[in-house]
Amino acid sequence: MDVRLDGRAGVVTGASRGIGEAIAREILVAGAAGVVLTGRRPETLQPLVDDLEAEFGPRVVAEPGNVRDADHAAVAVATAVRTFGSCDLLVNNAGTNPSAGPLTAVDMDAVDATWDVNQRAPLVWARAAWHGWMAEHGGAIVSIGSVGGLAPGPMIGAYNVSKAALHHLTRQLALELAPRVRVNAIAAAVVRTRLSESLWAADPAGAAAAHPLGRLGEPIDVARAAVFLLSEHASWVSGVILPVDGGLSGAGGVLG
């Protein structure tokens, strides 16, 4: 199955490294007309743009900013439309987890930040994409959720709650934006990224063994699923939370 995104363009949030970087790269591999990459720090975003331009040509633009900022979201969508002619694709990848600990003890400012980035910001970006292009022309949105949003687990409760909310936001938007826009999410397990280091770096072999398929996820695993959900191969798929988790939520059955 040759999954293609020819002629389409869009935005990936939190794209400077890890899963976001992998998704941006796979979108370009799939033939997209272009992609706008967002992230907080221009100094980390621009080197990736330079690298991708060397490989794929002038189909990449950096738009640094804070993912929580609605004006930034509107600018990024407008940049995609102005530069590449459309904003058919949106990937809500940016996420944070500064609030480890039980919910009864974790710092509430950290909880607010976690929920703001992980569940409110994807709505901000969906609204920007809808008003900036998709309401009239259609499109596809994919958000990066977590198996922690499917079932509770220890020590990252605020993060898990934020991802559960993101999953339900996905279903709600899928209902409200149909039939023009498809909205799906990916429930990822432990993927080998800097954000998730606290879950695997101390014992990579043990973390891998906790997954029925016997290994940690890699960013490319999530990226390929995201590109499928963005493509016409998923044209009758919306409101789905797709586990990409090494069998954890299916064959494993236990998430905590």
Phi, psi of 85 (to 5 degrees): 95, -5
| CB-based contact 77:136 (threshold 8 Å) | no
Dist. CA 163–CA 78, nearest whole Å: 27
Active-site entry in 115, 159, 200, 228: 159
Residue 218 sits at φ, ψ, to 5 deg, of -115, 155
For 142-154, letters b (16+ CB in 10 Å) and e give bbbbbbbbbeebe
**249 φ, ψ to 5°?**
-85, -15
Which DSSP letter does residue 80 get? H
108 counts as catalytic? no
DSSP assignment of 122-163, as one string? HHHHHHHHIIIIIHHH-EEEEEEEEGGGTS--SSBHHHHHHH
Active site residues: 159
